[in-house]
Amino acid sequence: MTDLVIKSADIVGKGRQDVLVRDGRVAEVGSVSAKDAEVVDADGLVLLPGLVDLHTHLREPGREDAETVLTGTRAAAKGGYTAVCAMANSYPVADTAGVVEQVAALGRAAGYADVQPIGAVSVGLEGKRLAEIGAMAQSAAQVRMFSDDGHCVHDPVLMRRALEYVKTFGGLVAQHAEEPRLTEGAQMNEGAVSSELGLPGWPSVAEEAIIARDVLLAEYTGARVHFCHVSTARSVAIIREAKARGAKVTAEVCPHHLLLTDEAARSYDPVYKVNPPLRREADVEVLRAALAEGVIDAVATDHAPHAPQDKECEWAAARPGMLGLETALSISVLALGGPSGVDWDVLAERTSRTPARIAGLEAHGRDPQPGVEANFTLVDPSATWTVVPEGLASLSRNTPYAGMELPVTVQATFLRGRATVLNGKIEEETTE
Amino acid sequence: MKHLLTTKELTREEAELILDVTEQMAEAVTGREVPKLPALRGRTVVNLFYEDSTRTRTSFETAAKRLSADVVNFAAKTSSVNKGESLRDTALTLQAMGADAVVIRHPAAGAPQRLTEWLDGAVLNAGDGTHAHPTQALLDAYTMKKRLGDIEGRTVAIVGDILHSRVARSNIWLLTKLGATVRLVGPPTLLPKDIDDWPVEIGYDLDASLKGVDAVMMLRVQHERQNAAFFPTANEYSRLYGLDERRLALMPDHAIVMHPGPMNRGMEIAAAVADSPRATITEQVTNGVWVRMAVLYLLLTNGESK
């Protein structure tokens, strides 16, 4: 592999440097002059550690009509990601060593981003019996994070056991916090808008009650819990208090919860249907502030591709979820102060370093320094782009941002020194 | 007006126009040997009903036929909610058949609005989930206007399961737009969340809420609500929120009793009250035909060629 020089990139907003990459790792940072090296001119671009997504639905195996590991990781690379954590709600469910190894292998074969499978907490996501968590942890996929995402681990006994069990290998449970009895038939955030639209409400307390309970369980068991897609102001308050007490609690927020509100449901267009639902403006403001402050640890996309027929229908018949991988960076920048106001170090912390640390992905979320794997993305802070669903790399089209102009473009993404995206375009050759 | 999806989107002028045309329809047809007008001859109106509602479907069918439209009843037993043909495919089929207007009744809120994206004809909402039922509200308003003389300045109590009622929602927007005061009365379990901004008074005590009303609108209580802990028993509901003769006596003498039907006699309304001369229930049914004629006429002709 030829040496690579990334020339005069603004390293995480701290100043211009050259980065020399040799054999997939950083060899030198500073003023580099290397002969016979491939040079990527990064003048005017910001270099970030490659983004890490804690929450991606790649849909393979089972719903390859909506997304595959290949198309999903291409979308990830396009969005600046070098690693994604694949949620367990595939068909079959990722509740055995076999399925998680298959997903990891598909990721390696695709070559666009590292795919770290998340294992199911319970068999078939049914919330009844623990899945073979130990087998998945010891498999080649080395699963550390477990989640029934899409479903809440609502049985307090099962949640307690799962939290205790993952301590054996330093794992964690990522909870989809939703008290199911409070959300039966729920279609959108419960509040003024749902009352007017006549759509059954998803009360914020259904999320907050589970988060409060699981904070207590985490403290009681001494285990690690991570909260998926935190969406309400009160949830933030509970997490803040838990952290202040020293509970081993982390939390993520989704880009759409940082930008959109339940007002979008007035169109009855299910592209805005998502679980947990879009909340109120007041929640958006609190989530943004909590992300900037670090009470919310990470941005996670909850990238949820859906086939057209699952969205081109009545709201109640539609599946919940929206695309996120290719728009998350732009929206994170918006939420953290916009392209001129954003602190790139904070952005890197929330979209790369911290999620990598939570997921246990040691080769990711690293700023360039000699020896680290060259997993980086180069972004143009002054560029803007307009979201065109047909232009996305994902196999699906269910983006809620169609037609919106967003700040910041991804110019290049490097996975172990090899470009997966260059000049804003996906590289077709990915073999290492 | 291209479609009629909700009463919220109607202007006061549009609502008053519909009520005026309703009056004209009633006058034009009543007492005629052949109660038919030629206004919509050659136009096709499709009744697309995803819920069993013989009453509403028959009312729309009668209205369309009295305007000489061709009526097609598309009884959709299943929807994509329960894995039948998708609403979009059905819409494309109706579009291909050249439907001038589609009257849709659907269990999913917002289905009529979705339909407008997939076909060119007028869409008339005949009830979508717990969202809206605009022609019911219009016929209620027309009934009040006929019985009370006017709507402006009147006070209307809507009683019962507001949470699950599209009739209540549509009446709230329409009646307040027309200058009435609306009181919502029911147990807190059956009132929607965060409705402080709605232009209504809210009460939990029916006796108190009946003082000074000009009309009371009793809502049907679905039997399945009893099993979902919205209230303890049918008896208790009836005691607290049923309209019986004692409560009827609390209302001013001129006040009328309305019900969108079908009624649960003995539950939300006592039989003697339902059959009293102050009840407008059968008039509401008659007026429903006139209102639906008016709406079909206005949507399909833009009020021209009269």
Is B131 labeled as catalytic in the residue annotation?
no
Q: Hey, is the C-beta of B133 within 8 angstroms of any chain A C-beta?
A: no
* Helices A281-293 and A328-335, axial angle in degrees (round to 10): 90
CATH superfamily of B134-280: Aspartate/ornithine carbamoyltransferase (3.40.50.1370)
Domain boundaries, chain B: 12-132+285-301, 134-280
Among A188, A280, A314, A315, which would you mutate to test the B interface (most chain B Cβ atoms within 10 Å of its Cβ)?
Answer: A314
> Does residue A58 have a pLDDT over 60?
yes
Say yes or no: domain A50-359 is CATH 1.10.3720.10: no
Q: Which CATH number fits domain B12-132+285-301: 3.40.630.30, 2.40.10.480, 3.40.50.1370, 3.40.1280.10?
A: 3.40.50.1370
Is A345 labeled as catalytic in the residue annotation?
no
Q: Give the H or E element holding residue B273.
A: helix B271-274
A181 marked among binding-site residues: no
Which candidate from A269, A312, A314 shows the least CB-CB separation from B111?
Answer: A314
Residue of A nearest to B133 (CA): A198
> Does residue B262 have a pLDDT over 80?
yes
Burial classification of residue A76, based on how many CB atoms lie within 10 Å of its CB (0-12 exposed, 13-18 middle, 19 or more buried): buried
Query: Can you read off the two tokens belonging to residue A68?
Result: 């595959």
Mean pLDDT for all residues in chain A: 97
pLDDT band, residue A35 (cuts 50/70/90): confident
Q: What is the pLDDT of residues B65-83, one digit of tens each?
A: 999 999 999 877 655 445 5
Domain boundaries, chain A: 50-359
Q: What is the pLDDT of residues B228-245, one digit of tens each?
A: 889 999 999 999 999 999
Q: Give the H or E element holding residue A161.
A: helix A156-166
Q: Hey, is the C-beta of B224 within 8 angstroms of any chain A C-beta?
A: no
Q: Hey, is the C-beta of A263 within 8 angstroms of any chain B C-beta?
A: no
pLDDT band, residue A87 (cuts 50/70/90): very high
> Does residue B227 have a pLDDT over 80?
no
Q: Are the beta carbons of A268 and B197 separated by less than 8 Å?
A: no
| CA proximity to B107, closest of B164, B158, B162, B159 | B164
Among B3, B194, B219, B222, which would you mutate to test the A interface (most chain A Cβ atoms within 10 Å of its Cβ)?
Answer: B194
Query: According to the model, what pLDDT value does residue B306 have?
Result: 45
A375 marked among binding-site residues: no
Report the complex ipTM.
0.94
Q: Are the beta carbons of A199 and B192 separated by less than 8 Å?
A: no
Query: According to the model, what pLDDT value does residue A431 have?
Result: 56
Query: According to the model, what pLDDT value does residue A55 have?
Result: 98
Separation CA A314–CA B175 (nearest Å): 28
Is B211 labeled as catalytic in the residue annotation?
no
Contacts of B130 in chain A (CB under 8 A): 198-200
Query: According to the model, what pLDDT value does residue B75 have?
Result: 77
Q: Are the beta carbons of B113 and A268 separated by less than 8 Å?
A: yes
Query: Can you read off the two tokens belonging to residue A153?
Result: 């681990």
Which candidate from B108, B132, B196 shows the least CB-CB separation from A316?
Answer: B108
Pairing mode, strands A4-11 and A16-22? antiparallel
B130 Cα to chain A: minimum distance (Å): 5
> Does residue B97 have a pLDDT over 60?
yes
